[in-house]
Amino acid sequence: MAFIEIRDVTFEYKMATENSDGAGSKSNVGKSDTGKAGSAGNQGKTGNITEVVGKALDGVSLDIEKGEFISIVGRNGSGKSTLAKTINGIFMPSHGTVSVDGMLTSEREKIFDIRSKVAMVFQNPDNQIVSSIVEDDIAFGPENLGIPPVEIRKRVDLALKAVDMYEHRTKAPHTLSGGQKQRIAIAGAIAMMPECIVFDEPTAMLDPMGRTKVLEIIKNLNSKGITVILITHFMEEATQADRIVVMDRGKICKDLTPKELFSDSASVIASGLELPIVAQLARRLRERGIDLEQGILTSDEFAKSIISLSTRRD
């Protein structure tokens, strides 16, 4: 049995009008914790606007093993974020089941066990920090879990060090940069001692320095055995994962290793994605008849194979 099992999950929501770019951007209509399956929001409107039932997720099944690092990619509105939020029971699927370590998210009495096993970091660093003091914010999760104060203190210090923000522990979040705030949010997740962390576009609002640092922390967490689910628009980030899941219109259309995925450039582009620059270069060279090996993804690999090609010709 896999650590996380997503079985045939469909997530329906109502929306006021036909959305021209497909299902999705309104997927979070009032469907939270207490929302029952299929009873999404109050979007009923009058006039010529019709009510449509959209599917943010449409029969999605996925297994994730302990310690894995998977990326979920796809267009805006492809259902990535909705999928992520069903994993820890923030959204409840209209049909299908999600289980974490054998516990179903539909068993409401286990929901806090699930959420302490699967923590989550969101896109906007500002909107997920609850306290005006860094360390108090990190304590928020453990406090909710009813951990004794001394133990919370230990966890907070550990979490702060893990994201390299210990020296900023007494600062006010609004005085920090976006990247630093996001590290605080990650520390808040770490302090819950989860086995898995879901990152929902954690770098989308950061500058390159903040982005690099956050990705470094994510990789580091994974190397310590934490299962990582990373949703991202940046293909260079996605290639860091063991496995990339491509979503389109609420369905999983690819579930491959980075090497496999980016060898099939046509389907990558068809899903609204782009090839990493290295892969684009390699593909164009192959089209010109240069005999490059498949599955080159990093500058290093690319440089090496060019070098070996050039020495072979010498």
Stretch 286-305: interaction string toward other proteins, x if CB under 8 A: --x-x--------xx-xx--
Let me know: does 95 contact 36? Beta carbons within 8 Å. Answer: no
Choices 3-11, 146-154, 161-169, 239-247 (CB under 8 A): range interacting with other proteins: 146-154
Provide the minimum distance between the beta carbon of 44 and other proteins in the complex, in angstroms, as a whole number: 14
**Chosen residue from 7, 153, 161, 286 binding other proteins by CB under 8 A:** 153
Distance CA 170, CA 185 (A): 15
The DSSP bridge partners found for residue 141 are none
245 CB-near residues (< 8 Å, 6+ apart) = 62, 70, 71, 72, 73, 252, 254, 255
Provide the minimum distance between the beta carbon of 268 and other proteins in the complex, in angstroms, as a whole number: 10
Choose between 39 and 131: whose C-beta lies nearer to other proteins. Answer: 131
Provide the minimum distance between the beta carbon of 75 and other proteins in the complex, in angstroms, as a whole number: 5
Choices 52-60, 61-69, 124-132, 218-226 (CB under 8 A): range interacting with other proteins: 124-132
* The pair of three-digit structure tokens given for residue 173, joined into one six-digit string: 């979040």
- Site size toward other proteins (CB under 8 A) is 91
Phi, psi of 311 (to 5 degrees): -70, -35
Choose between 71 and 223: whose C-beta lies nearer to other proteins. Answer: 71
78 CB-near residues (< 8 Å, 6+ apart) = 22, 24, 247, 248, 249, 250, 271, 272
Q: Restricting to residues 9-68, which ones interact with other proteins according to CB under 8 A?
A: 16-17, 19-21, 25, 28, 32-33
Q: Restricting to residues 250-289, which ones interact with other proteins according to CB under 8 A?
A: 272-274, 276-278, 280-281, 284-285, 288
Choose between 13 and 302: whose C-beta lies nearer to other proteins. Answer: 302
In eight-state DSSP terms, residue 220 is: H
Choices 4-12, 51-59, 95-103, 108-116 (CB under 8 A): range interacting with other proteins: 108-116
In eight-state DSSP terms, residue 89 is: T
Contact between 120 and other proteins by CB under 8 A: the answer reads yes
Strands in the chain per DSSP E: 4-15, 52-64, 69-74, 95-100, 103-104, 118-121, 196-200, 227-231, 243-248, 251-256
Q: Restricting to residues 176-235, which ones interact with other proteins according to CB under 8 A?
A: 177-179, 185, 188-189, 192, 201, 204-205, 207-210, 233, 235
Choose between 1 and 109: whose C-beta lies nearer to other proteins. Answer: 109
Let me know: does 67 contact 225? Beta carbons within 8 Å. Answer: yes
Phi, psi of 290 (to 5 degrees): -85, 130
* The pair of three-digit structure tokens given for residue 295, joined into one six-digit string: 């599955």
